[in-house]
Structure formats: structure tokens, C-alpha cells
């Protein structure tokens, strides 16, 4: 099976940094490390099976091709686009945030 490289936009990197900082503050290093492991697991899955993500937000946000994938054990979703040669990660957001506002603005 061919793996596509994962390309993270600056906004996604900022999201991850903020989430790690949050988990360090409220749960300590063990929780932050579990989050990082769950994110790495999700990104590995997407590099192999990008088409399996949910297209739920694509129509409502008028962003054709947008997909999301949940992190195991955490409330965050990875928002991404599958491209012919790569997977472009746009954002990593908590599922209860105003997703439409954050992705459309």
C-alpha cells in the first residue's frame, strides 16, 4: 500500500501546539503524549487511507473534498484534503468548536 506524505498547514501546526499546551496544563505530560500518539496514529491512517474520512463538512462549508477524521480517545478531528500526491491537513479542531466559523474564515 502506498503512503501519501502528510503536509500540515501552519494553522494545523498552531492547533496542535495549542492542544498540547492545553493537555500539559490540565493533564500533564502523560495526557499530552497520549494526544500526540493519537494524532500520529490518525495521520498514519490518513496517509494510507485518506478516502475513509467523513465528507460531512464539505457541503455545508462549500469546500469540495474536505474530509475529517477523529482522533482515538480525544475529542479532536483532523480536517484535510486528499490530493493526488499528498494529504494536506488544514486544521486539528475540537469537535464541539464552531467548525463552520473556524474553517470558513
Give the CATH number for residue 68. 3.30.2310.20
Residue 57 lies in a domain: yes
Quote the pLDDT of residue 52.
95
Return the DSSP state at 64. Answer: T
Residue 63 lies in a domain: yes
Residue 22 lies in a domain: yes
Residues above pLDDT 90, as percent of the chain:
81
Residue 1 lies in a domain: no
Asked whether the beta carbons of 86 and 6 are under 8 A apart, the reply is yes
Q: Whole-angstrom Cα distance, residue 35 to residue 19?
A: 8
Total domains present in the chain: 1
Residue 11 lies in a domain: yes
Q: Whole-angstrom Cα distance, residue 85 to residue 69?
A: 19
pLDDT at 4 over 80: yes
> Which segment of 15-24, 31-40, 56-65 scores lowest on mean pLDDT?
56-65
Domain extent, residue 82, equals 6-104
Residue 97 lies in a domain: yes
DSSP H stretches of helix in 50-98: 56-60
Q: How confident is the model at residue 105 (pLDDT cuts 50, 70, 90)?
A: low
Quote the pLDDT of residue 77.
97
pLDDT at 104 over 80: no
Amino acid at each position: 500500500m502506498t503512503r501519501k506524505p502528510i503536509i500540515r498547514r501552519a494553522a494545523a501546526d498552531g492547533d496542535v501546539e495549542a492542544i498540547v499546551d492545553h493537555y500539559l496544563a490540565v493533564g500533564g505530560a502523560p495526557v499530552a503524549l497520549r494526544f500526540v500518539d493519537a494524532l500520529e496514529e490518525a495521520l498514519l491512517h490518513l496517509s494510507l487511507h485518506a478516502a475513509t474520512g467523513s465528507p460531512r463538512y464539505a457541503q455545508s462549508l462549500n469546500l469540495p473534498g474536505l474530509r475529517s477524521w477523529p482522533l482515538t480517545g480525544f475529542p479532536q478531528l483532523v480536517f484535510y484534503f486528499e490530493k493526488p500526491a499528498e494529504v494536506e491537513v488544514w486544521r486539528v479542531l475540537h469537535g464541539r468548536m464552531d467548525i463552520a466559523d473556524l474553517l470558513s474564515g
